[in-house]
């Protein structure tokens, strides 16, 4: 008799569990990003074509890890190239293009420590990618790609000016797509956009960065 009562009490509970269905499982956590070796390649897809970059993690670990973090989290998607600095002297083209998130509070991460060229040995040569910044240690998600050698952007430890002492932080070079860099360099500029030294350097219709992703190289089978 007791067993029968327990059976009757258990039946409604079984029906409730059946009606409710199986318990929902929590979504699995995304796998951690793959480790970064001495170098890492990324592909920057823009409206005007793809620029491939080889970043030097061995010599500029902080800056490279910061850039890759933005790429892995898709934070660069929808960013723009917004500035072209054209220098009228020297062999042409002479200058750089600049892009990034322009301080977008919804996408930028914390500023990173500065890695000067005097420490990394990576110099502002043609094809170099270098972090844009205000004071040293304020770089976040904006960067420049050089079309020519610009030694004035390298760190100058002998200078009395703290800003020139620090210079800017190079962390890699273009491995493919300098023709795309040149296309961006050649786009029309606005005569009215920008302030101070940047007036006349702002791109009239910014070039969209569609995506930035790591490039996974497939090794041929032996």
Q: What is the pLDDT of the chain when averaged over all its residues?
A: 89
pTM score, whole prediction: 0.84
The two tokens of residue 190 are: 């606005």
Say if CB 63 and CB 116 are below 8 A apart.
no
Task: Give the span between the Cα atoms of 114 and 72, in whole angstroms.
Answer: 21
Alpha-carbon separation of residue 21 from 12, 17, 18 (angstroms): 14, 6, 5
Domains with residue ranges and CATH for the chain: 39-214 (2.40.100.10)
DSSP string, 154-172: S--TT-SSHHHHH---EEE
Q: How far is C-alpha 13 from the geometric centre of its chain's CA atoms?
A: 55
**Span 175-208, pLDDT tens digits:** 999 999 999 999 999 999 998 889 999 999 999 9
With H, G, I as helix, E, B as strand and everything else as coil, classify residue 187.
Answer: coil
């Amino acid at each position: 008799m007791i067993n029968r009562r327990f059976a009757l009490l258990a039946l409604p509970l079984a029906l409730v569990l059946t009606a409710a269905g199986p318990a929902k499982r929590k979504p699995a956590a995304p796998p951690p990003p793959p480790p970064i070796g001495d170098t890492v390649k990324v592909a920057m897809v823009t409206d005007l074509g793809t620029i491939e970059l080889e970043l030097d993690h061995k010599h500029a670990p902080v800056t490279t890890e910061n850039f890759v973090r933005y790429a892995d989290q898709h934070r660069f998607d929808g960013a723009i190239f917004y500035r072209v600095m054209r220098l009228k002297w020297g062999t042409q083209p002479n200058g750089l293009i600049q892009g990034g998130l322009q301080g977008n509070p919804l996408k930028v991460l914390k500023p990173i420590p500065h890695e000067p060229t005097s420490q990394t040995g990576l110099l502002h040569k043609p094809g170099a990618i270098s972090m844009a910044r205000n004071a040293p240690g304020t770089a976040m998600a904006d960067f420049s790609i050089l079309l020519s050698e610009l030694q004035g952007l390298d760190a100058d430890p002998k200078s009395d000016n703290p800003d020139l002492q620090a210079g800017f932080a190079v962390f890699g070079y273009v491995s493919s797509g300098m023709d795309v860099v040149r296309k961006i360099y050649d786009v029309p500029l606005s005569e009215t956009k920008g302030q101070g030294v940047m007036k006349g350097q702002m791109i009239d219709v910014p070039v969209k960065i569609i995506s930035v992703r790591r490039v996974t190289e497939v090794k041929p089978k032996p």
